[in-house]
Amino acid sequence: MNSKRSILLRRYELGHFLGQGTFAKVYYAKGLNSGESVAIKVIDKEKIMRVGLMDQIKREISVMRMVKHPNIIELYEVMATKSKIYLVMEYVKGGELFNKVTKGKPKERAVRQYFQQLVTAVDYCHSRGVYHRDLKPENLLLDDAGNLKVSDFGLSALVESKRQDGLLHTACGTPAYVAPEVLSGKGYDGSKADIWSCGVILYVLMAGYLPFTDPNLMEMYRKIGKGEFNCPDWFPSEISQLLQKILDPNPVNRISIAKIMVNPWFRKGLARRPRAIQPEIEPEPQTVGDADGIFDITDDIKQEDSVKPTNLNAFDIINMSAGFDISGLFEGEMVSRKCRKQAKFTSMESYSSIVSKLEDVAKKFKLKVKKKVGGAMKLEACKLGRKGALEIDAEIFEFATSFHLVEMTKSSGDTLEYQKLMKRHIRPALKDIVWAWQGEQQEQEQAKQQKQSE
């Protein structure tokens, strides 16, 4: 970069700063030859490689090249150096739709137009096998003419991401906008999950607040799981009826996009406007030939091929923490057997320190250690027990650089032997690195209550 004029790779002149995320910054820029205004997302390659987000960035690039639609932010080109990735995108200066909502509720006519454009864009994505999975007003931008543009495909999934059951399984998105089947931790249909998010957005645009909200996070999840919401009396009956069909907690019964698009309220005004022509999806020539190419220039970055911790998102933390396990809200009674065969603890130590400590503990109690990819280890007893050799899978999940969650699960052997080994030996031996064990606070409260009753 030229420090005087901030020239990027002899192609763009960087302007003012637009925004920032965990691993990227976004700048306004102008093409030196074309003079066209663009937004450039600058990603720190070393950081995303260190935390294992390479595939996510590749997927975002691949998806944005596939979806060419008037209501979707366009990716013009991708450039890369040894240390940075540059996504050159369409510049939309109207700001986030979220900001418009906070300044006051739009009129019904404007709400319908935004919703029409959103549903049309989402339908287009689904036709290309793309599921956004993080639809919310903050990810919807407005251009000069007030047209909606869907952005941020960082959490999107392709049809190839489905498992053998034909469903997606990664819980992601923003909790208040996420469908109940996603929160349940089971497989889900990406298209039905996106439809739910569209419904929440429609409600927010009309009301100015969320349909599912509560100071208690667990209570909010319960409301989402049951589909408990009320439309204000001043909502037009057509919108209330449509929302009841979209925000149906049962994805099987939830209305499809095809049916939304023939809904009388949705159709209003469409006949007076010519239908937008959807351009072909042939990608424009790119500076980097494919998504994998952005990681080919790695002379100044050392990629570790050794075991690395699994990156953990907010949904994983919520579901894996005893106080926030929400599976019971969707599945009835919680399965106590799983708790007897599994122990979890959080640690403020580094990943390498946790691995080292687990290896020391295994050596002390004569357990064989086998390292596996993705931050996993297997501890195996040398002697046979009542039901064969006791084996414990230890998996380390990274939430931040110095905050990890460790899950220790009995994979084979006798459950009582596992519990005895954990309680008498392993748990005391790990006290130097443990911040808190799962359920420890509840156990202390129960012991306190029992003592008081005695």
Q: Which of 44, 55, 123, 134 is catalytic?
A: 134
Instruction: Confirm or deny that 41 is annotated as ligand binding.
Output: yes
Instruction: Identify the residue with better confidence: 317 or 80.
Output: 80
Neighbours of 358 (CB within 10 A): 23
Residue 452 has pLDDT above 60, yes or no: no
What is the tens place of the pLDDT at every residue in 7-57? 887 889 999 988 877 678 899 999 988 899 999 999 888 888 877 778 778
What is the tens place of the pLDDT at every residue in 430-447? 988 888 887 655 455 555
The average confidence (pLDDT) of the chain is 79
Q: Distance between CA atoms of 101 and 165, rounded to whole angstroms? A: 39
Instruction: List, by residue range, all CATH 3.30.200.20 domains of the chain.
Output: 7-91
Residue 332 has pLDDT above 50, yes or no: no
Fold of 310-446: TATA-Binding Protein (3.30.310)
Fold of 7-91: Phosphorylase Kinase; domain 1 (3.30.200)
Q: Distance between CA atoms of 429 and 451, rounded to whole angstroms? A: 27
248 is catalytic: no
What is the tens place of the pLDDT at every residue in 139-157? 899 998 889 999 988 777 7
Instruction: List, by residue range, all CATH 1.10.510.10 domains of the chain.
Output: 97-267
What CATH architecture applies to the domain 97-267? Answer: Orthogonal Bundle (1.10)
What is the tens place of the pLDDT at every residue in 157-207? 765 566 666 677 666 778 889 999 988 877 889 899 999 999 999 999 999
pLDDT of res. 201: 95
> Please, where are the H alpha helices in 128-189?
180-183
What is the tens place of the pLDDT at every residue in 55-64? 778 888 888 8
Contacts 24+ apart (CB under 8 A), 173-177: 173/133, 173/134, 173/135, 173/136, 173/197, 173/315, 174/134, 174/136, 175/217, 175/220, 175/221, 175/314, 175/315, 176/136, 176/200, 176/210, 176/212, 176/213, 176/220, 177/134, 177/135, 177/136, 177/201
Selection from 5, 92, 96, 97 nearest residue 41 by Cα:
92
DSSP annotation of 124 reads H
